[in-house]
Structures are given as C-alpha cells and as structure tokens.
Structure 1
Amino acid sequence: MRLTLIAKLSIATSAVLLLTMGLFSYINVEQLEKLLFEEAVSDADKLGETIVQTTHYHMLENNLKRAYQLIDEVASQRGIIERIRMINKFGLVTHSTDPKETGLYLDKKAEACSMCHAGSSPLVHATTMNRSRLFRNREGHEVLGMAKAIYNEERCYTAPCHFHPKEAKVLGVLDIIVSLDPMHRKVYAYRNEIIVLAILQVVLIALCLTFFTQRFVNRPVRRLVRHAHLVGEGTLDAKVEIKSRDELGELAEAFDDMTVNLKKAHDDLADWGKNLETKVEERSRELRTIQAQLVHSEKLASLGELVAGIAHEINNPLTGILVFASLLSSDTKLDPALKGDLELIVKETQRCAKIVRGLLDFSRESIPQKRPASLNEIMDATLTLVGNQSCFHDVQIVKEYNPDIPDMLLDPHQIEQVFINMLLNACHAIAGPGQIRLRTGFDRESAAAYAAISDTGCGIPDEIAGKIFDPFFTTKENRGTGLGLSVSYGIIEAHGGRIEVQSAVGVGTTFTVWLPLAHEGVLAEGDSTG
C-alpha cells in the first residue's frame, strides 16, 4: 500500500512526538515521585519531632500512660500512619500502636536499628534520609520507616522522677512507619494524566499537521503533478495555479518557465521541420552557386593561361600583316582595283588585333592599384566616356545615387572598365529608345556598397543566363568578342566583391556590383539602401 505524503509526515511526526513526550513524561514522573518521597520523609520526620515534643512533658513527669495515649491518638488521626512505636536504648519496644510488638526486643540488624548500628559503634546523629528506610509490610505494600532519636537532654538526666546518666546520649528511638500508598496513587494519577495529555497532544498536532500539510504542501504538489502530466501529454499552454511566495511558489514559476521554453522549442522544432525542405533547397542552391563560381574561376584561370600563350603567338604575325597592309595600301603604285581589298585586310587585321588585346587583358591578372575613390564619381566619369556614342542617343539615363557612400579603396580605372562594359551591354540590349537606371547605395550589416545598372532591354533568356560570364560567349553578331563580362567578373573578384544578375525576357536586366567597404567606422547613420 502506497502511503501519501500527509500520512508519512503524520506518522513520522507522531513517532517523534511520542518518543520525546514519553521520555519527558518518564523523567517528569520520576522527578515527581522523588519529590513526593522526599516530602513524605520530611513529613514523617516532622511528625516524629512533633510527637517527641508533645510527649516530652509527660515523659519528664513519668506519665507514660498519657504519653502513650497521645501517640495512639496521633496514629489514629493520620490515616497514612501504619504504626508508631517507642524503642529504648536496649532495643525493647516499650510501646507500639500494634499491641503485638509491645515488650519485644528488636535485633540491631532490624530495619529500625540497622541504620544507626550498621557500623562498629552506633551513630548518635544521622541525617534525615539516612534515618529513613523503604520496605514492604506484611501485606506486601511499600511503606516508609522513619527513626527519630530521643536524646538525653539536661532536663532528662536532672529530673527527679526518673534518673538517666548524664553520659547517655540517646535514651531511645521513636519509630514511625508511614504507608506510601497515597503517594503512589498521586504518582499513578499524574502518570495517567500525562499519558492522556500526551495522546491528546499528539492527536491534535497530527490533525493540525495534516490540515496545514494538505493546505500548504499536498495541494500545491498535486497541482504540480497534474501540470507535469499535462505537459507530458503535450498540453504546453497549461499554467500552475500556485500564487504563494514560498519554495513551492518558486517551483511553480520554474515549472511555468520550463513549459514556456518547451513550447518555444516545440514550435521552433515544428517550424524547422516544416521549413526543412525549403532550407535544404536554399542551401543546395547556395552550394550550387558557390560551386558554379568556383568552377567558373578555375575555368577562367585555366583558359587565361591558354589564351595568353595563343595571343602572344598570334600578335606578332598580326602586327606584321597590319604594318605591311597599311604600307601597301598607301603606296601610289598600287593598282586602284586592289585598294579595296587591302583596306578590307587592314580592317579585319585591326579587328583581330582588338580581339588579341582583349585576350591579353583577359589573361593578364592585373593587381588592382587601390586608392580612396568615390563610387558615384567613377560612375559619372564612365557616363562621360560612353555617353556620346550613338547607341545612347535615344536612351534616357536616370541617376539614383546615395550621397552618403564613403570613399572606398578601389582601382578607379578597373572599376571604370567594368561599368563601361555593363553600360555598353545595356545600351546594345535596348537597341533603340529606352531607359538605363543607375543606382548606388550601401548595406550597413554586410559593410558593402553596390552599384546597380538596370536597362529596359530584351532581357537574358534562362538557357544562356549561366553562360554570360564565360569567355568568348556573346550574343552580338560581328560586334563582340565575348570577353567584356569575363574581364569584369575577374576585376570585381580581385576587389573582393561579386556581381549579381537579375533578368526577365522582354522586361530588362539589372547588373548589381557589390564591393566591400575597406574603412571601419565610415558608415553613416540613416538609410543604408540609398
């Protein structure tokens, strides 16, 4: 059988109380019995003294009859006195309230004599406790005996009635035997009262303990257990209804906090489970993008080494062809019919030379010569260079610069080359009336600035969007080498930045160049998006 908390506390407390109160009661009863015994000894001694003093006159007058009569009257009035007897110095019982003892001689080892005659010589004076004795009477009851010495005073050995020698110290002994039954009845009554009071006190304390334990411990514990079961069943909105400010109240608050944290963790886990597939897809897409960038970078590096060798080998014969074709076309002896062919040779040779220069620029890993420069000023300088070209005549240029962009550590010529390539691509993609929107700004969290070039051109189809940064890939027939965006990609990568592309066919394309802010503490307060 499982005991409840209240039962355990009640049993334990009751056992402790019973033990302590039993020990206290035992000591208390023993002390009471000792005190009552001492009081009985004192009363018996006082009674003996009273009898001696009362009968003293009659003894001096040798009126023994009257003296013995007084002794009998005292013995009859005190119900606790069993008998009183007078014993002379020779051990003769001269008088006793028990007529059977009168005239008997007592042995020195008898109870009334052994206290003074225990040694080699009799004691003349003894303390009250030494003159008292405990023994059982013929009926088996415990009685107290008190021996009172009758000393030979001056009036005794000078009295004419009966002469006692002056050298005699003790004339006799008055022996009083008192029943201790009244004392025992008081002790038993007191002991019974103590037992009853102890039982009542234990019962009362157990009831109070049960009540207060039920109110202040059992109820809160049951609420905590019920709350724990609810949490175990998944009910995470439950609250413990305990408002006390004691340890159980603190425990209830801890339970509530734990439940709130469990609910939050459960909700987060549920959301994480729901969004796991989306997060995995996003991470996979990011990994694919990073892998594509790495593959592209390796491809560009390998291709750059190959292109550099080919460009150097082609550049020398091309230079010779261009020089001799130019000289030959300017010769007056040249047949006019051949002049058009020579001009075509020169034109195509110049085109080949331009391609070779592009190849050399692509293969050459130029270290950026960085210095503090303004991104907005570089964009304006780029517009000044390309704005007069014919493709920009019908194109509207919209500027949305953030004036709070701090100066950055850049190579202005290389960044200008990147903007030229992007602006020319935007203009060629429009191929007529349209709009080019230029935006600059910076992001405080990533500590990077950006320049975005948006056009309203034809857009980039999805099937070629992943190839636009590949070398020699171009959609311009007879106008491009396919190296502009590849070179731009390398320049921005060398600056520690990146290029993002967003495009929709028939809507337009946006190239966004992100570059890191090289200075600490240069970010201005306010809007960071420009």
Structure 2
Amino acid sequence: MRLTLIAKLSIATSAVLLLTMGLFAYINVEQLDKLLFEEAVTDADKLGETIVRTTHYHMLENNLKRAYQIIDEVGAQRGIIERIRMINKFGLVTHSTDPKETGLYLDKKAEACSMCHSGSSPLVHATTMNRSRIFRNREGNEVLGLAKAIYNEERCYTAPCHFHPKEAKVLGVLDVVVSLDPMHRKVYAYRNEIIILTVLQIGLIALCLTFFTQRFVNRPVRRLVQYAHLVGSGELDARVAINSHDEMGELAGAFNDMTVNLKKAHDELADWGKNLETKVEERTEELRRIQAQLVHSEKLASLGELVAGIAHEINNPLTGILVFASLLSSDSKLDPSLKGDLDLIVKETQRCAKIVKGLLDFSRESFPQKRPASLNEVMDATLTLVGNQSCFHDVRLIKEYNTDIPEMLLDPHQIEQVFINLLLNACHAISGSGKILVRTGFDRERAEAYAAIGDTGCGIPEEILGKIFDPFFTTKENRGTGLGLSVSYGIIEAHGGRIEVQSTVGVGTTFTIWLPLMHEGAPEGAAADSSAPSSA
C-alpha cells in the first residue's frame, strides 16, 4: 500500500507531537503527583499538630477520656482519615480509633516506628517526609501514614496530676493515617484532561497540515506528475501552468524548459536518423561480431599463456604429492586412522590434476568426456566436498531438487568443478551468516535442465556484471586469480549450455546453469518445471 505525501507528513508530525506531548504530560503528571503527595503529607502533619495541641490541655488535666473523645471525633471523618492512634514511649497503643489496636504493643520495626528506630539509637527529631510512609490498608487502598512525636515539655513533667521524668525527650507518638484516594482522583482527572487535550491538538494539527500540504504541495506535485507522464508518452508540446513564484513555480518552469530542449533534440535526432539509421544498424552489427570474436580470441590467448605456466609449475609437485601419498597409503606400518586422510589427499590431488587438464582442454576448445550422469548426484557430491570449508560454517545450505530430471550426457568432473567455483564464490560473497539456495529442474519445451545457485551476499554491481566471465578479472583481494568463472564459462559452453546471472547489490546473486537434455530418457510428456528461473 503506497502512502501519499500528506499521509506521510501527517503520520510523522503526529508521531513527533505524540512523543513530545506524551513526555510533557508524563512529566507534568509526575510533578503534580509529587506536589499533591507533599501537600497530603503537610496536611497530615498539620492535622497531627492540631490534635496534639487540642488534647494537650486535657492531658495536663489527666482528662484522658475527653482527650480520646476528641481523637475519636476527628477520626470519624471517613473517606479522609483512616486511623488515628496514640503510642507511648514503650510502644503501647494507649488509644486508637480502631478499638482492636488499643492495648497492643508495637515492635520497633513496625511501620510507625521504623523511621525513628532504624538506627542504633532512636531519633528525637525527624523531617516531615522522613516521618511519612505509604502503604495499603486492609481493603487494598493506598494510604499515607505520618508519625508525630509528642515531646516532654516543661508543663508535662511539672504538672501536679502526674509526673514524667525531666530527662525524657519524647513521651509518645501520634500516628495519623489518611486516605490518598482524593489525591489519586485529582491526578487521574488531570491525566485524562491531558490525554484529551493531546488528542485534540494532534487532530487539529493533522487537519491543518493536511489542508496546507494539499493546497501548497500536493496539487502542484500532481500537476507536475501529470505533465511528466504526458512528456514521457511523447507529447513534447505539453506545458505545465505556473501558478506561483516559489520553489514549486521554479520547478514547473524548469520542467517547461526541459521539454523545450527535449523537443529540439528530438527533432534533430529524427533528421539524422532518417539518413543514418540503416547504415548505423549495419555497421553496429558488424562491429559487434568482430568485437565478440576479438574478445573470445583474447580470452583463449590469455588462458593459453597461463596454462603453460600451470602445467610446468603445478603438475610436477602434484605428481610428487600423488606418488608419496599413494606409497604412504599402501604402507603396512601406517596408522589405520590416517588412511582415510591419505586417501582424501590422493583424491584431491587427482582432482587438481584434472583441473589443470580442464584448463588445457578449455584453452584448446577440447570436448568434455561425456557420459550419462545425474545432475542432482553431481550437485550432492559437490556439496559434500565443499561443505566442510570454513566459510560454510555460518551459511545455511538449502536444497530444492527436482527428482524427475533424467540422467544427462555430461562430464561429471567438469560440471563438479563449475559447481565448486560457483558455491565458493557464493560463500565468499556472504559476510557472516546467510544462506545459499541450490535448485535444480528442467524445461521440457526448451529441452534443457538447470542448476541454480543463489546467495544472500553482497551482490555484483551492474557496471562490472558484464566482466565477471573475463579471464583474470576478479573482485577478491588476494584470494582469486580471475579464472574460476572464465573456466566455468568455457566448460558449460563445451557442453552446449549457457550460464546466466542475476544480481542485486545488497540482496544477493543467482547463477543459473542451463544444460541440454540430449538423452533418450528425457521426459517428453512431462510438464515444464514451474520453478525454473527465467532467462537473464
């Protein structure tokens, strides 16, 4: 689904606004919650101070009944005050608005005591915030508790009714617990207002942005697109109307100037084409044939020079390796666990010798030694051979074979060499983890079988795609000779087939080898493989 310019701008702007306003709203709600909590703590502290001062006279007169009655009257404000209790210096709850707590002893680790008794010695003075605590009541609602110390003033230890030691600093604690539901309701209401305002503001801005974008950008762009389509269809007399003097107007003027120049160039080319078209086509075709012959001759000459050096420099060492590996393999003193390795050395040395011979055959345009063979079996043998290479450790191999492909007339060793080159190139093109897809199939109508090797590597740039089969052309620094693809190209041509390549930079590359089904077992009545890749 293609999004319009207006939709993109609206979505982008709405996302930015939503993010910024969401952050702004979150900070505001957090600050409001903090301020309301501090206000609740202050109100609870003032309430405790009011209760202490109100009951102070009755305490001096030892009129505990009236003092407790005042506490009960204040605590009767349900919905605001959850609980009020007085605790003496020994931890005894002398009175509480919850009758079940009266007469109980509290531990120093209790919520009302821990803020002053958390250290080795109890605190005499503590800040308001340090004396506050938040917890949940029996109903699960969040409440605020504030402990306020009742200090031993001079009137307390000199009163005639009872006596407190002069050395005592604190006579007890008044513990006030209030509900935080009013604070939460304010915060939730403010949060909902912020959300509604944010949505309304984003909607209004999106509408305004859509309107102005439609008027000043979208309409002129649509006119330019329509005009470009007309020019592209050959109507070089078309002109776009200039309705403004801004950047869009300048762009429209540039389009008109471009159309004038295109018409002028088109007319000139038409005049030249009338006289030269036939001669140019004939001359071009002749030059193409000559160039193809020259390129092919240069490739063969370059490979011939290289093969002479390879035969001299590699064949002798390979012969020595093969002889001594064979002797060691047949030695009765050899450790049996090493025999498999030596057999592998012999086999790979023989394969190297065949590779050199293949280069010679290619440079001399010799014919391959064809025999009936299965394309799938050749591919499986190749995968077994290269699968243990270190570059394949992080690469996932996926095989999709068509089991209906009959045996074909081909040289298995040469085709295996082609598969090795393509698989190693695919592996080297993948940086890190990736996958290689190997597919086989056939096309009955064209009487051809194919083997496709696709990778998820870096891809091949279009400007060098036409050079990859040239001798000595390579993009591998210090790793390639530039012969792998050229030798593979020669082998496939000698088999009467062709190699096609499709590549996208950053996506991957797929090499497809087409070979003729020149065999009596070819399925004449079979349908063509629907998964066959299209010709490049």
Query: Normalising by the residue count of structure 2, what TM-score does the alignment of the two structures yield?
Result: 0.49
Give me the TM-score of the superposition, normalised by structure 1: 0.50
